[in-house]
Amino acid sequence: MTPTPLRSIASKLPAGMLYGGDYNPEQWPEAVWSEDVRLMREAGVNLVSVAIFSWAKLEPRPGDYDFGWLDRVIDLLWTEKISVCLATATASPPAWLSRAHPESLPVDVNGTRLSPGSRQHYCPNSRAYRAGGRRLIGELARRYAAHPAVALWHVNNEIGCHTHECFCEVCAADFRTWLRARYDTLEELNESWGTAFWSQAYGEWAEILPPRKMPTFRNPGQVLDYARFMSDALCDLLAGEVAAIRLVAPEAKVTTNGMVFHRPADYHRWYREVDIAAWDSYPDPAGGIDEVQAAAFTHDLFRGLRGGQPFMLMEQATTQVNWRATNALKPPGQMRAISFAAVARGADAVMFFQWRAARAGAEKFHSAMVPHFGTEGSRVFREVCALGAELKKLTGVCGARVPARVALLVSWENRWALEVESKPMAFDYAAMIRSYYGALWDLNVAVDVVHPDAPLEAYAVVVAPALYQLTRGQAESLRAFAQRGGALVMSYFSGVVDEREHIWLGGSPGLLQDVLGLAVEEWQPLPAGESNALVVAGRTEPVACKIFCELLHLRGAEALATYAHGFFAGRAAITTHRFGAGEAIYVATEPDRTWLTTLMSDVLERHGVKAPVVAAPGVEAVVRVGEGMEFLFLINHRAELAMVELGEWSGRDLVSDQACTGTLSLEPYGVRVISRARDREVSAVPRLPQASAV
């Protein structure tokens, strides 16, 4: 497994961990800029993202560019060798563009055209918006691509965050074009959408519209295709901006910042378009371990988007955000712990939104590296400086990989399909995944979050929660995986439909019935607050289960647990089935998390997957493997002391420079990065996705 420092991908990036944030100098008089740069040095900042929302300042009137201020900012930053991640500045079109091209404004599902005056007020398919953006990007690239400070390009900003779909006439026409490319004939489309139902058949392409507000349930095939189309349209916008940079600067390296498992954006596809994966992480500081796990899941997801190479934590808050109903602050140490948790899972950049807290606008109550209070005596700035100094000690970690023997299968396609309306219940795919991810996190077992089409050879255990949409290829891959000796863990409502939203007849999990040794005939969704219970072999106390209970016909599988209540009491709920040299476990309900963790622990043990150390609850333990060295990250996410049994692990903590061995006591929010020479080869080599032509 070859380490891949970000610098080997984008050679103008500074050496070591990247540290900094969004810098919006246009919000401040120039006199403040020199203080900014001085304070950045003090804080250890080596990279800032500039011009994200600067279109109106860079092009105050159509075609009338003003780059003088940006020249001065970038030159000033470079006097202190602070590098720039230069934005394409397209995240918020200027007022003149919306005025000249009202059709560039997005239209919601009810047909209402949205107003300018906030941000992201553009239809992703708008020709005027795209063309205006490309012109500006061309100018920026001509002027700055060769500047020594400009190390990376920040394409747009959180594409699809607020405006992730549009239902205007331009989108309607583009949707029809997209459909014609997907389906050769209208007959094929009618068959795929199942339009021999409610008189929905189409006789002309022109009859097809986006799935706008309708009297009742929309056609599931139409809704699913629109989700695919909009994700593709947003991705095309991203690819178009990348192409506009590379037209002028073919060697330019690019990234774009994604969001936490963002529903509308198929990042598996999007991140083929850029060189480095990056995302913005805003766990609720008051949300406890659940929030920590949600962030960890997304770190693992983003690491997987570029074949396991390091990613960037592009934004986080030093303390409060301003967009929750109640915006909890981060107590001393928590920001550091959360930052190290990102690095543990493969981030080689720790960046913030934003450098200096704004004094006006809708984000003036959002925290920053430099608070309104000033830096003198500021707790927040002190922690910012301390983190910058500590990250410098982790230079040797840069590029190190996170080897995992467990794969968690996740796809946007599956999410869109599962969450289309008119199902047995309203499913929450992210929550269904997080039960399993959370169990693995609690067990401190490294996980690769990968697409169900990904190669599975490197893994001992594959977990497929709610793999509702199952293609033939995916079924074959999972069958081969179990056949070879792997453990497949699959949860309820899996293998129900194909990629067209057509039911696999004969009972789920459809094409995998033989692998799991069972078929599902019926299901009972449980309303919130209601539960059933599981009678588990070898255990006296029943285990609560909730959300969904499937009724199984066993065809070779053995019951590990049965239902306790209802007319199906005594019927199998959790099963195992030997298949080839491996086994397939089926979990037909949502068991209590603690017990699910026990179940997963047994499976992992049977298949030789172990945690690196034994740690108290709330302590995250992750290993990164570099060239001849490996690094054990320990992070205590709780505000209380926590013990860790290091067992065979011993080495030097890069943060405190102390030797660590035996039993370790981690202070509240404490972190360690214990390094030691590596004497073993790591076999897992995830494949890098191919960039598509732009």
Q: Annotated catalytic sites, by residue?
A: 158, 315
Residue 271 near residue 306 (C-beta atoms within 8 A) = yes
Which CB, 267 or 586, lies closer to ligand GAL? Answer: 267
Question: By rule CB under 6 A, what count of residues binds ligand GAL?
Answer: 10
Minimum CB separation of residue 351 from ligand GAL in Å reads 11
Near ligand GAL in 471-490, by CB under 6 A: none
Interface mask toward ligand GAL for 84-123; x: CB under 6 A: ----------------------------------------
- Phi first, then psi, for residue 328 (nearest 5°) are -70, 145
Minimum CB separation of residue 317 from ligand GAL in Å reads 6
SS3 59: coil
Which CB, 164 or 366, lies closer to ligand GAL? Answer: 366
Helices (H) and strands (E) in the chain, counts: 18, 27
Interface mask toward ligand GAL for 279-298; x: CB under 6 A: -x-x----------------
Residue 158 touching ligand GAL (CB under 6 A) = yes
Residue 620 touching ligand GAL (CB under 6 A) = no
Which CB, 217 or 365, lies closer to ligand GAL? Answer: 365
Residue 60, token pair as written in the block: 């105050």
Minimum CB separation of residue 47 from ligand GAL in Å reads 16
DSSP type of residue 497:
B
Which CB, 384 or 646, lies closer to ligand GAL? Answer: 384
- Phi first, then psi, for residue 74 (nearest 5°) are -65, -40
Which CB, 315 or 419, lies closer to ligand GAL? Answer: 315
Which CB, 86 or 520, lies closer to ligand GAL? Answer: 86
E-strand stretches of 89-230: 150-154
Among the listed residues 59, 300, 315, 419, the single contact to ligand GAL using CB under 6 A? 315
Which CB, 359 or 680, lies closer to ligand GAL? Answer: 359
Contacts 24+ apart (CB under 8 A), 600-603: 600/436, 600/439, 600/440, 600/443, 600/463, 600/489, 601/443, 603/461, 603/487, 603/489
Conformation bin of residue 556: beta by default, left when phi > 0, alpha when psi is -120 to 50: left
Q: Write the CB contacts of 14 (distance below 8 Å, at least 6 apart in sequence).
A: 7, 46, 47, 81, 83, 151
Near ligand GAL in 7-66, by CB under 6 A: none
DSSP assignments along 319-353, one per residue: S--SSSSS-PPPPTTHHHHHHHHHHHTTEEEEEES
Between the CA of residue 15 and those of 82, 306, 391, 437, what are the distances in Å? 11, 20, 12, 33
Q: What angle do CA 673, 677, 681 make, to 5 degrees?
A: 110
Minimum CB separation of residue 257 from ligand GAL in Å reads 6
Among the listed residues 321, 335, 488, 621, the single contact to ligand GAL using CB under 6 A? 321
DSSP assignments along 596-644, one per residue: HHHHHHHHHHHTT---SSEE-TTEEEEEEE-SSEEEEEEEE-SSS-EEE
Which CB, 91 or 341, lies closer to ligand GAL? Answer: 91
Q: Which residues pair with 448 in a beta bridge?
A: 407
Minimum CB separation of residue 367 from ligand GAL in Å reads 9
Residue 154 touching ligand GAL (CB under 6 A) = no
Which CB, 158 or 300, lies closer to ligand GAL? Answer: 158
Separation of alpha carbons 455 and 684, rounded Å = 11
Minimum CB separation of residue 353 from ligand GAL in Å reads 4
Residue 152 near residue 276 (C-beta atoms within 8 A) = yes
Q: Write the CB contacts of 243 (distance below 8 Å, at least 6 apart in sequence).
A: 694
Minimum CB separation of residue 53 from ligand GAL in Å reads 7
Minimum CB separation of residue 259 from ligand GAL in Å reads 7
Residue 602 near residue 633 (C-beta atoms within 8 A) = no
Which CB, 49 or 575, lies closer to ligand GAL? Answer: 49
Which range, of 35-43, 108-116, 155-163, 285-293, touches ligand GAL by CB under 6 A? 155-163
Near ligand GAL in 327-356, by CB under 6 A: 353
| Among the listed residues 130, 159, 352, 339, the one whose alpha carbon sits nearest the alpha carbon of residue 256 | 159
Near ligand GAL in 402-421, by CB under 6 A: none
- Phi first, then psi, for residue 544 (nearest 5°) are -70, 145
Residue 366 touching ligand GAL (CB under 6 A) = yes
Between the CA of residue 185 and those of 180, 208, 219, 221, 577, what are the distances in Å? 7, 13, 18, 16, 43
| Among the listed residues 609, 554, 631, 636, the one whose alpha carbon sits nearest the alpha carbon of residue 408 | 609
Minimum CB separation of residue 227 from ligand GAL in Å reads 21
SS3 406: strand
Which range, of 66-74, 157-165, 462-470, 558-566, touches ligand GAL by CB under 6 A? 157-165
Residue 157 touching ligand GAL (CB under 6 A) = yes
Separation of alpha carbons 637 and 292, rounded Å = 8
Which range, of 54-62, 156-164, 428-436, 566-574, touches ligand GAL by CB under 6 A? 156-164
Separation of alpha carbons 81 and 86, rounded Å = 15
Minimum CB separation of residue 125 from ligand GAL in Å reads 22
Which range, of 153-161, 237-245, 633-641, 686-694, touches ligand GAL by CB under 6 A? 153-161
Binding site for ligand GAL (CB under 6 A): 157-158, 161, 280, 282, 315, 321, 353, 363, 366
